[in-house]
Structure 1
Amino acid sequence: MKNDPKAKLVDGTKAAKPLNQVLKENEHVKDMLEESADELASVNRVLNEEFANQDQLPEMGNALEKSEAVEIKVQEASDKLSVVNQALEDEVRERHLLEHQLATIREQQEETLHIALHDSLTGLPNRALFNDRLEHGLVQATRHGWTLAVMFMDLDNFKTINDSHGHDVGDAVLRIVAERLKENTRGDDTVSRHGGDEFLYLLTDMTNEQDATIIAEKIIKAIQVPCQVSIGELIIKPSIGISIFPRDGTTAEALTKSADTAMYQAKRSKSGYAFAGGTPASSR
């Protein structure tokens, strides 16, 4: 079976800490062995001197030989442990390097994924991410009998801003609007840039139509605050269409289309927002 390089990276990050601990313990043992070897060498020198000055007793000679043999083995063990420790140090360095490489790869993956799923101008989720969350929301709503809403928002007369003041001013307006939408988005909801000056809002946790009304009015109020751009102040007015699941559709495509149609109804009547299949709200 082929080795999995990713598995090796993961194992490396998990094992780096224990290896450091093993290396530290081995260094301690190595120091003890070296101390023991030095002490044995010192004892053996004394014994050799004593042995040279006395009659050569066989028992003493045998003891000295054994002691010198132990000294050699202790020194050999210390040398082998040094080799092992060097290998451990190399392994720790390699694992730290792999850990760093893995962190870099993860950052690059996250950055690539973010770019793929977010609008480059506003930083909002793009159409693909919005549709994914809407599909997930529909599954949950169907399973639990929940209600959710899709809001389709368009900025009134935005083309005039681009034509009169240039795309730089238009882009600045879109960024300001996006920031205001983010500031007025609830935790479980999703707001996205659908394209151009169109935005989509997914309202997932609602008990009745009034919840959507409150959010729509809050968004309109926030966006209509004058925008400070390079040419001075601009007042932007949005039009919002609202579709409700399951009343106005049971698929992501149907709900988005219903909300889009309702948005044009709100734009024509200058009412601010309108519900799919219903009458526009009173002008605000």
Structure 2
Amino acid sequence: MKNEPGSVTPDVAAHAKALTRVLGQSEHVKLLVEECADELSSVNLALKEEVAGQHQLSGIEEALEKTEAIEGKVLEAADKLSVVNQALEVEVEARHVLEERLAELTQEEEAARHAAFHDALTGLPNRALFDNRLAHALAQARRRGWSLAVMFMDLDDFKKINDVHGHDVGDAVLKTVAARLQESTRADDTVCRHGGDEFLYLLVASGEVGDVTHVAEKIARAIAAPCRLGIGEFRIRPSIGISIFPKDGATAFELIKRADAAMYEAKRNRSGHAFAR
């Protein structure tokens, strides 16, 4: 079950109050020590005057009595400081434990967030994250008059790999393809695993046919590079369908649907990629 950061708030408040209480005790001890220092200064002055012969011997005796009283206060202050230090050590250790727990909760939250928006096998963004970024890109494109492209990719003859060599090899191929897609993705673009051997690619702020064709061909070359797995070296090629906003659709659903249809045309023609019509 996912832990919520807010669940540790009472502990944080309790420790903050405890530290405030300890700091108040420390301030009290500080005032006590300062009082002792002032009184010792007064006694020292009196003793100096006695040594200079300005007072009778009784003055020295009185000073000594004050010194003994001050010594008791200093001892009391030392005892209280010891108690304060022990309390501070406990609070510091408790705060250290709390900080470690907060760090663990932060890591757990980050892991849960990553799992919610990324594909477990390939580590690529999943469809939920892709849809979110596509919606954001469409909003920007409408506002600024930009165009963008959506690519729908499918791996040719991938089913044969699973049927002949098994799903472990198929998974290894998908991981290899995902890594190559990540290496080929521009900083502002998004590639996701749609499901099975299908991938989606969002090309933002560009809808020129030449630019999109260049990116599609770059992706195709990267995926088609030789794969070296336990079964030997082989190549796998993608079929890519492309739709462009706003020409081919005004919504995410329309753009993905048109790109999907174009992908099947590219697969039928074995042309590598095809634009929506």
Residue 59 of structure 1 and its aligned partner are, at CA, apart by 2.8
CA distance in 2, matches of 1:269, 1:9: 65
Count the aligned residue pairs. Answer: 246
Q: Tell me whether 1:173 sits opposite 2:173 in the alignment.
A: yes
User: Which amino acid is the alignment partner of residue 141 of structure 1?
Assistant: A
Number of the residue aligned with 1:258: 258
Residue 184 of structure 1 and its aligned partner are, at CA, apart by: 0.5
CA distance in 2, matches of 1:167, 1:205: 37
Amino acid at match of 1:202: L
Q: Deviations over 1:121-146 (max 9, x none)?
A: 11111111111111121122222222
Query: Which runs of no fewer than 5 residues in structure 1 stay unpaired?
Result: 48-55, 278-284
Local SS of the residue matching 2:160 = helix
Query: Given that residues 241 and 264 in structure 1 are in contact (C-alpha distance below 8 angstroms), is that contact kept between their aligned partners in structure 2?
Result: yes
Write the distance in 1 (CA, Å) between the matches of 2:13 and 2:266.
58
Q: Is the Cα contact below 8 Å between 2:127 and 2:192 reproduced in 1? A: yes
Show structure 2 runs of 5+ residues with no match: 1-5, 48-55
8 Å CA contact retained: 2:149, 2:207: no
Corresponding residue for 1:155? 155
Question: What is the rounded CA distance, in whole Å, between the counterparts of 2:170 and 2:149 in structure 1?
Answer: 28
Q: Distance in 2 between matches of 1:273 and 1:67?
A: 97
| Matches for 1:177-216 after TM superposition, within 5 Å | 177-206=177-206, 208-216=208-216
5 Å-filtered alignment, 1:56-75, equals 57-75=57-75
1:137 maps to which residue? 137
Query: Displacement of 1:10 after TM fit?
Result: 7.1
> In the superposition, relative to structure 1, how do residues 10 and 197 fare at CA in structure 2: closer, same or farther (>3 Å)?
farther
Q: Please, which moves more after superposition, 207-216 or 148-157?
A: 207-216
2:207–2:244 Cα contact (<8 Å) kept: no
CA distance in 2, matches of 1:87, 1:259: 67
Instruction: State the match for 1:92 in structure 2.
Output: 92
Compared CA separation, residues 100 and 202, structure 1 to 2 (3 A): same
Asked if the contact 1:189–1:203 (Cα under 8 Å) also holds between the matched residues in 2, the reply is yes
- 1:99 Cα deviation after fit: 0.7
Identity score, percent:
63
> In the aligned structure 2, how far is the partner of 1:177 from the partner of 1:69?
84
Q: Deviations over 1:40-68 (max 9, x none)?
A: 8xx99xx9xxxxxxxx9543332222111
Task: State the shift of 1:9 in Å.
Answer: 6.9
4+ residue runs over 2 A deviation: 4-13, 56-62
**Structure 1 residues 67-124: Cα deviation after superposition (integer angstroms, max 9, x where no partner):** 1111111111121122112111111111111111111111111112212221111111
1:53 equivalent in structure 2 = none
* Matches of 2:71 and 2:139, distance apart in 1: 75
Question: Structure 1 residues 156-165 or 94-103, which shifts more?
Answer: 156-165
2:83 maps to 83
The answer to whether the 8 A contact 2:141-2:205 is kept is no
In structure 1, the residue matched to 2:276 is 276
The CA RMSD over aligned residues, in Å, is: 2.9
* Alignment-derived partner of residue 115 in structure 2: 115
Relative to the length of structure 2, the TM-score reads: 0.80
Q: Which amino acid aligns with 2:63?
A: A
SS at match of 1:61: helix
